[in-house]
Structure 1
Amino acid sequence: MKSAVLALGRLKTGQMNKTEKAYGDFLELRKRAGEIAWYKFEGIKLRLADNTFYTPDYTVMLSDGSLECHEVKGFWQDDARVKIKIAADLYPFRFIALKANAKKDGGGWTEETF
């Protein structure tokens, strides 16, 4: 029996998947603790080249006023990794990718900085 190959479903702009929602809840806790001043889901769109854009999952302002772009991933596709690397070269923000750790492994988030 052949296994079905399913295309990745894309959510509409502004809609969060469950990992992005969980990270938003985590950011809200950090905001209440005073670590961050502000955050917005899909708040900015960065131009990488003609007709090529990158929209970070979250734009985050730390309590010191510096801005970061956070990308929440369950897994990476090659084009997404390339886009975040290009954006990190072009823009003066700190770019961070976050992957949810399994609950059996203690939960939390693993960070990768670009």
Structure 2
Amino acid sequence: MRRSVQALGRLKVGAQNKTEASYEATVLRPALMAGDIAWYRFEGLKLRLADNTFYTPDYAVMRRDGLMEVHEVKGFWTDDARVKIKVAAEQYPFRFIAVRALAKKAGGGWQTEVFE
């Protein structure tokens, strides 16, 4: 019997981690209900960066004005993830936004960083 091996801490494709689910519940859903964004989808895009190198952002988001954004939700950054979002921002005509959850003792909420 063959078993699927998965890296420790890695979720199946299409499964949100707690930080991503919190971002959707506290930021994206309310923005959709308020009409600030027209649409969003978890792992809705897969961008080719080079041969055999892809980047799947956490959320594809369409703003009310039609501008497409890519939202990347991070608990912490790895060098590989930071390089991929920078390369993608250079190659694709989307607005790339990285968000990081702030600790409750720091006031909570989300810290944002825009890549252009």
TM-score by length of 2: 0.90
Question: Which stretches of structure 1, 4 residues or longer, exceed 2 Å deviation after superposition?
Answer: none
Partner in structure 2 of residue 10 of structure 1: 10
Q: How many residues align?
A: 108
SS at match of 2:29: helix
How is 1:1-114 mapped onto 2 (pairs within 5 angstroms)?
Answer: 8-25=8-25, 26-114=27-115
| Structure 2 match to 1:4 | none
Higher mean displacement: 98-107 or 15-24: 98-107
The AA in structure 2 aligned to 1:19 is T
In structure 2, C-alpha distance between the alignment counterparts of 1:52 and 1:105, rounded to whole Å: 36
Identical-residue share of aligned pairs (%):
69
After superposition, the C-alpha distances for 1:25-44 in whole angstroms (9 at most, x for unaligned) are 12001111111010000001
Gaps of 5+ in 1: 1-6
Aligned residue identity for 1:13 = V
Q: CA RMSD in A?
A: 1.0
SS in 2 for 1:86: helix
Structure 1 SS opposite 2:113: strand
2:42 and 2:96 map into 1 onto residues whose CA distance is 15
1:15-67, Cα deviation, whole Å (9 max, x unpaired): 00000000111200111111101000000100000000000000000000110
Deviation at 1:104?
2.0
Q: Distance in 1 between matches of 2:79 and 2:8?
A: 14
Structure 2 unmatched runs, 5+: 1-6
Q: TM-score, normalised by structure 1?
A: 0.91
